[in-house]
Amino acid sequence: EVQLLESGGGLVQPGGSLRISCAASGFTFSSYGMSWVRQAPGKGLEWVSGISSSGGRTYYADSVKGRFTISRDNSKNTLYLQMNSLRAEDTAVYYCANDNRGAAAGTYYNWFDPWGQGTLVTVSS
């Protein structure tokens, strides 16, 4: 059974840093791209960052570019998100998810499946 288990969330002050993790099991982690998607309290979904299966390519939403760094350790089947210069608007549940993407006949496809259970990051003084 595929499992994604996030950890590391918590309360951090504005301007602070936090690293969250996602431990994967039940599939060949090193064969899949991964992403982080967040959901602010009572709000919708927002893609945050993605990484290729090898870790050689990384992608970021404009809202976190320059502040967040995604990485992975395929030997540990673990995905990470290092979050620096945190702001109140970064408060959210952060989900990790398998990122299935590619292109066919000029059309780009990209879906997230499955998702972890999420870890809550609260930025507040």
Partner 1 sequence: QSVLTQPPSASGTPGQRVTISCSGSSSNIGSNTVNWYQQLPGTTPKLLIYSNNQRPSGVPDRFSGSKSGTSASLAISGLQSEDEADYYCAAWDDSLNGPVFGGGTKLTVL
Candidate residues 36, 80, 94, 112; the one interacting with partner 1 per rule CB under 8 A: 112
The candidate with the shortest Cα–Cα distance to 123, out of 79, 96, 85, is: 85
Is 47 a residue that touches partner 1 (CB under 8 A)? yes
Whole-angstrom CA distances from 114 to 44, 78, 102, 109 are 18, 15, 17, 16
Candidate residues 23, 59, 67, 120; the one interacting with partner 1 per rule CB under 8 A: 59
The nearer residue to partner 1, 43 or 76, going by C-beta atoms, is 43
Burial bucket for residue 104 (CB in 10 Å: 0-12, 13-18, 19+): exposed
Beta bridge partners of 95: 37
Map the footprint of partner 1 across residues 62-91, applying CB under 8 A.
62
Place of tokens 């791209």: 33
Candidate residues 5, 23, 61, 120; the one interacting with partner 1 per rule CB under 8 A: 61
Candidate residues 92, 95, 119, 121; the one interacting with partner 1 per rule CB under 8 A: 95
CA–CA distance, 10 with 21 (Å, rounded to integer) = 12
Is 105 a residue that touches partner 1 (CB under 8 A)? no
Is 33 a residue that touches partner 1 (CB under 8 A)? no
Q: Which residues bind partner 1 (CB under 8 A)?
A: 35, 37, 44-47, 50, 59-62, 95, 100-101, 106-118
